[in-house]
Chain A
Amino acid sequence: MDATLSGNTAHRDLLRLITCGSVDDGKSTLIGRLLADAGAVPEDQLRGAVPSSGNNSLPDYAMLLDGLQAEREQGITIDVGYRFFTTPRRRFILADTPGHEQYTRNMATAASAADVAIVLVDASKGLLSQTWRHSAIVSTMGIRRVVLAVNKMDLIDYRQRDFAEIVAAYASMAGQLGLSDVTSIPVSALQGDNVIRQSDATPWYQGPTLLRYLETVEIPDASSKPFRFNVQWVNRGASGFRSYAGTILGGHVRVGDEVAVQPSGVQSRVARIITFDGDLEEARAGQAVSLTLADAVDVSRGDLLAGCEHPPHLADQFAADLVWLDEAPMLPGRPYVMRLGTATYTATVTELKHRLDMNTGAGRAAKQLDVNQIGFANLGLDRPAAFDAYADNRNTGNFILIDRVTNGTVGAGMIRFPLRRAANLTWQNFSTDRSARSAIKGHRPAVLWFTGFSGSGKSTVADAIDKRLLALGSHTYILDGDNIRHGLNRDLGFTDTDRVENIRRVIEVARLLADAGLIVLVSFISPFRAERQLARERLGADEFLEIFVDTSLAECERRDPKGLYRKAREGKIANFTGLDSAYEPPETPDIHLRTAEMSVDQEVELVLQSLRQRGILG
């Protein structure tokens, strides 16, 4: 390592960068050069990377960069690795996304935090479709500064003209993608030309070496933006002391500044800026501090403290670019957990406008987003959120989506603009409420949600229960899958996307009927846990009963009352639940009807008993 490191480090700042390219472009060699020449690879690790069979004096840098044994054994790298190196001027965090698999997903992850992207091109091959893909992801993720590293210049005898052609071709690509700050450098990672040392082989090149560029490029600074501070944690001390811990995500703040608590909009003034090392008079973007306010206003985790002059957007709907990270596709209408700042929402994609064709950049109509696809969509939240456009502030315009069943991080989003549709609609409260409706009917409203395979007996048992309830004087209504598909949902098919929308509409209808005081019997296959969970949340746990009509697939197929299984087996019906479309059985249903062990009468008794126990029936 450079001996100057032991000197004063106080001035050294931090640059986060990513490299885009494949092993074929010589990316590993380039990274290895940077790391090894900057002294960032310890000798024992370097020794471990020299291949036993290799006759090359250079270590195999791919071995240095491939961290995981499982990946090494499979000969693939599937993830993001972080490497650090330091020069007298700067500290660097390099995020590398090796391999071709899951490229979009990994590159988006690595790019999310990066200030600069190195796009690597093989000089002997010129621009490839992957160059476009890499640059599109860089642009989508909000990186504005790009180094076009034209590598393997030694293979084309360092010809200036070939270099200039590649640079010109890339300029038009970058222009289309809105990448306005591109620096092109002719390099040979293998020979070390223009990586760290200026090369004699390119006397026609007057620009900086790669390292020189990285050491001097201006790092984006959020402190000139409007003030933003996400509350992470509330410290509650003695005698009503409250301090709000968080990181400043934009702008700066001084003691005495007026701030608004968003989304409530309540205003106060900053009383103190507290740190472990003493109070500050002012603080700027990037600092983790604690604030106290002059007034005892309500502030909790998830709130955004913002300057009053440039308030953030407030909306429960917005349009965003969405990168899909999960093997299971994004389905419009399906509820996801959203982390936006330090707040958590339930969010759905209300409309998928298009997905990006990663080869041409054109928008294509799509019903769903698959893994590694990028789309443009409208999203709806369960309540208003405070945010900025991602282009205005990367820290306050981003979000992730989490699957509610697998708990996996499945999507990442960059907000473009708020949608005001719901802003002028307010909920109208009427004087007759649901308890009054319930009282007149002599029972509480409820939704009995029957789920199970086609032919499992959902409609049969729902019908029998309905008859008994009517005989008891209850007010009921049956929503049946097939019947609803003849009317309200006649525009929907049987793809996963349409199934989700099918259920969403039924949930809303059931909710209206329950609000009218009825006992609603819903008889739908409803194959996905996520939608049944949504139903439970929309309807309320004390009014919603999930009833699993548990008949084996083999038995359903044997019965085949509508002849559907036969048709599906003959290939005349696609996306048939249980055959080529998944059914996710309930894990803990409220009532479990094991039809092989019970008669329909016994099933009816079991359900009525449960309704009495829950106080739904008097």
Chain B
Amino acid sequence: MPVSLNFLEQLEAESIHVLRETAAVFSNPVLLYSIGKDSSVLLHLALKAFHPAKPPFKLLHVDTTWKFRDMIAFRDRRARELGLELLVHTNPEGLKAGIGPITHGAAVHTDVMKTEALKQALDHHGFDAAIGGARRDEEPSRAKERIFSRRNASHRWDPRRQQPELWHLYNNRLGPGESTRVFPLSNWTELDVWTYIAQEEIPVVPLYFAAQRPVVERDGMLIMVDDSRLPLRPDEVPQERWVRFRTLGCYPLTGAVESRATTLEAIIAELADSRTSERQGRAIDHGAGGSMERRKAEGYF
């Protein structure tokens, strides 16, 4: 008999089970591809789950137009290489109104260009299940999130409508207009994700690896000057520093960390020593107590 499964093989099997359930029981699922490391793992698991066929769902990227340029290039290359259909949606009203993180602030930008845009795309295509890469270890309010998380017709998350999840039996029944967010990576940690990326040789955006990049120090965060849209304050001069990113989002809102980790092995070693959570680098999380949860209730992923 083959030897018993190690924890990473068990996590992988559980995620594949969830992806197959999603494809089987929902009429129009979609994979929310946000280009980051978690999405890369999610996509890899989807390829595994349905092999030798391709995943029976499309990819959706909500583009705020403020993502790192490297992310967009990576996104388009991966979709082409894998021959998967990629839908890209940007909030047209937000675009017309010129909403951006610098002019309108992180909260408005995230609300209009991410949360609203996601709802628009889900409604437009009639997706009843949206698969995402969120993990329970990211933030305390996620620790209680279900693997299948129910949303009402206006995409809001109501703690009282969440269903108990026993064994591996998931309740896929939805009322009119309701939809589900599916989180196959719920039980993974950041370290698991990187260990798996190394083991499976999964391609990720180069920004995760340390390199000399032009950054400015702003409000305690290292912000990369990714294009000319970032207005520099009078005393700011971009400096070339060795940095990498633990999470990727809109570049003016995403703090880099100083690092010399240029390989997967170095990243894993760095994480094993690290004692801060990955979302610490996200400007949007640091509002009033429980702000992540409030945004989740409003429909943020």
Q: List the A side residues contacting B38 at CB < 8 Å.
A: none
| B137 in contact with A84 (CB, 8 Å) | yes
| B191 in contact with A109 (CB, 8 Å) | no
Q: List the A side residues contacting B268 at CB < 8 Å.
A: 6
**Which of B164, B187, B269, B273 has most A Cβ within 10 Å?**
B164
| B272 in contact with A9 (CB, 8 Å) | no
Of all chain B residues, the one with the shortest Cβ separation from A325 is B164
Chain A, interface residues (CB within 8 Å), range: 35 or more
Q: List the A side residues contacting B142 at CB < 8 Å.
A: 67
Say whether B274 faces chain A, with CB atoms less than 8 Å apart: yes
Query: Quick one: which of A266-302 are within 8 Å of B by CB?
Result: 274-277, 280, 282-284, 286-288, 290, 301
CA gap between A93 and B143 in the complex, in Å: 11
The 8 Å CB contact of B13, one of A11, A44, A247, A408, is A247
B221 to chain A, nearest CB (A): 14
Q: List the A side residues contacting B17 at CB < 8 Å.
A: 232, 247, 288
| A283 in contact with B2 (CB, 8 Å) | yes
Of all chain B residues, the one with the shortest Cβ separation from A78 is B159
Query: Beyond A9-B195, A10-B6, A72-B290, is A44–B159 a contact (Cβ under 8 Å)?
Result: no
Say whether A113 faces chain B, with CB atoms less than 8 Å apart: yes
Instruction: Classify the interface of chain A: helix, strand, loop or mixed.
Output: mixed
| B4 in contact with A43 (CB, 8 Å) | no
Say whether B144 faces chain A, with CB atoms less than 8 Å apart: yes
Say whether A383 faces chain B, with CB atoms less than 8 Å apart: no
| A1 in contact with B173 (CB, 8 Å) | no
Query: Quick one: which of A126-184 are within 8 Å of B by CB?
Result: none
Q: List the B side residues contacting A412 at CB < 8 Å.
A: 164, 166
Say whether B211 faces chain A, with CB atoms less than 8 Å apart: no
B44 to chain A, nearest CB (A): 9
| A68 in contact with B51 (CB, 8 Å) | no
The 8 Å CB contact of A252, one of B1, B169, B187, is B1
Q: 1/0 per residue A65-96: CB within 8 Å of B?
A: 11111111000000111111010001101000
| A286 in contact with B10 (CB, 8 Å) | yes
Say whether A235 faces chain B, with CB atoms less than 8 Å apart: yes
Query: Quick one: which of B187-213 are within 8 Å of A by CB?
Result: 187, 189, 191, 195
| B23 in contact with A233 (CB, 8 Å) | yes
Say whether A549 faces chain B, with CB atoms less than 8 Å apart: no
Q: List the A side residues contacting B6 at CB < 8 Å.
A: 9-14
| A13 in contact with B7 (CB, 8 Å) | yes
Say whether B52 faces chain A, with CB atoms less than 8 Å apart: yes
Say whether B88 faces chain A, with CB atoms less than 8 Å apart: no
| B7 in contact with A68 (CB, 8 Å) | no
Say whether A337 faces chain B, with CB atoms less than 8 Å apart: yes
| A223 in contact with B4 (CB, 8 Å) | yes
Q: List the B side residues contacting A64 at CB < 8 Å.
A: 140
Q: List the B side residues contacting A394 at CB < 8 Å.
A: 167
Query: Beyond A44-B280, A288-B12, is A109–B144 a contact (Cβ under 8 Å)?
Result: no
Q: 1/0 per residue A306-324: CB within 8 Å of B?
A: 0000000000000000000
Binds B, one of A395-403, A513-521, A568-576: A395-403
A554 to chain B, nearest CB (A): 30
Say whether A195 faces chain B, with CB atoms less than 8 Å apart: no
CA gap between A30 and B128 in the complex, in Å: 41
Query: Beyond A235-B52, A290-B51, is A1–B273 a contact (Cβ under 8 Å)?
Result: yes
Chain B, interface residues (CB within 8 Å), range: 35 or more
The 8 Å CB contact of A69, one of B174, B178, B289, is B289
Q: 1/0 per residue B61-77: CB within 8 Å of A?
A: 00000000000000000
| A342 in contact with B166 (CB, 8 Å) | no
A85 to chain B, nearest CB (A): 9
Say whether B223 faces chain A, with CB atoms less than 8 Å apart: no
CA gap between A466 and B175 in the complex, in Å: 37
A103 to chain B, nearest CB (A): 13
CA gap between A412 and B164 in the complex, in Å: 10
Q: List the A side residues contacting B11 at CB < 8 Å.
A: 14
**Which of A221, A277, A409 has most B Cβ within 10 Å?**
A409
| A109 in contact with B164 (CB, 8 Å) | yes
Say whether A262 faces chain B, with CB atoms less than 8 Å apart: no
CA gap between A232 and B7 in the complex, in Å: 22
| B187 in contact with A82 (CB, 8 Å) | yes
| A398 in contact with B166 (CB, 8 Å) | yes
| A276 in contact with B48 (CB, 8 Å) | yes
CA gap between A235 and B162 in the complex, in Å: 31
Of all chain B residues, the one with the shortest Cβ separation from A412 is B166
Query: Quick one: which of A241-266 are within 8 Å of B by CB?
Result: 243, 245-247, 252
Say whether B16 faces chain A, with CB atoms less than 8 Å apart: yes
Say whether A618 faces chain B, with CB atoms less than 8 Å apart: no
The 8 Å CB contact of A79, one of B10, B140, B144, B187, is B144
Query: Beyond A93-B187, A237-B52, is A221–B144 a contact (Cβ under 8 Å)?
Result: no
| B169 in contact with A81 (CB, 8 Å) | no
Q: List the B side residues contacting A283 at CB < 8 Å.
A: 2
Q: 1/0 per residue B139-181: CB within 8 Å of A?
A: 0111110000000000000010011111111110111001000
CA gap between A288 and B5 in the complex, in Å: 11
Query: Quick one: which of B1-54 are within 8 Å of A by CB?
Result: 1-2, 4-13, 16-17, 20-21, 23-24, 47-53
| A109 in contact with B52 (CB, 8 Å) | no
| B4 in contact with A221 (CB, 8 Å) | yes
CA gap between A42 and B279 in the complex, in Å: 11
CA gap between A275 and B52 in the complex, in Å: 8
**Which of B20, B140, B273 has most A Cβ within 10 Å?**
B140
Query: Quick one: which of A38-79 are within 8 Å of B by CB?
Result: 39, 42-45, 64-72, 79
Query: Beyond A67-B144, A235-B52, A407-B174, is A288–B13 a contact (Cβ under 8 Å)?
Result: yes
Say whether A339 faces chain B, with CB atoms less than 8 Å apart: yes
| A105 in contact with B164 (CB, 8 Å) | yes
| B144 in contact with A80 (CB, 8 Å) | yes
Say whether B254 faces chain A, with CB atoms less than 8 Å apart: no
Q: List the B side residues contacting A39 at CB < 8 Å.
A: 275
The 8 Å CB contact of B4, one of A13, A93, A105, is A13
B298 to chain A, nearest CB (A): 13
CA gap between A70 and B159 in the complex, in Å: 9
CA gap between A361 and B178 in the complex, in Å: 40
| A69 in contact with B293 (CB, 8 Å) | yes
CA gap between A288 and B51 in the complex, in Å: 11
| A245 in contact with B4 (CB, 8 Å) | no
* Chain A residues engaging chain B, CB cutoff 8 angstroms: 1-3, 5-6, 9-14, 39, 42-45, 64-72, 79-84, 86, 90-91, 93, 105-106, 108-109, 112-113, 219, 221, 223, 232-233, 235, 237, 243, 245-247, 252, 274-277, 280, 282-284, 286-288, 290, 301, 325, 337, 339, 342, 394-395, 398-400, 402, 406-409, 412
User: Ordered nearest first, which 3 A-B pairs have the shortest CB separation?
Assistant: A69-B290, A42-B277, A91-B7
Interchain residue pairs with CB less than 8 A apart (25): A1-B273, A9-B6, A10-B6, A42-B280, A43-B276, A44-B280, A69-B290, A82-B144, A84-B137, A91-B7, A232-B20, A252-B1, A276-B48, A282-B1, A284-B2, A287-B5, A288-B13, A288-B20, A337-B173, A342-B24, A394-B167, A395-B168, A398-B166, A406-B175, A407-B171
Q: Given A65-B140, A286-B5, 15 other A-B contacts at CB below 8 A?
A: A44-B276, A69-B290, A69-B293, A69-B294, A86-B191, A109-B164, A113-B168, A233-B23, A245-B50, A247-B168, A276-B48, A280-B2, A286-B9, A288-B12, A408-B171
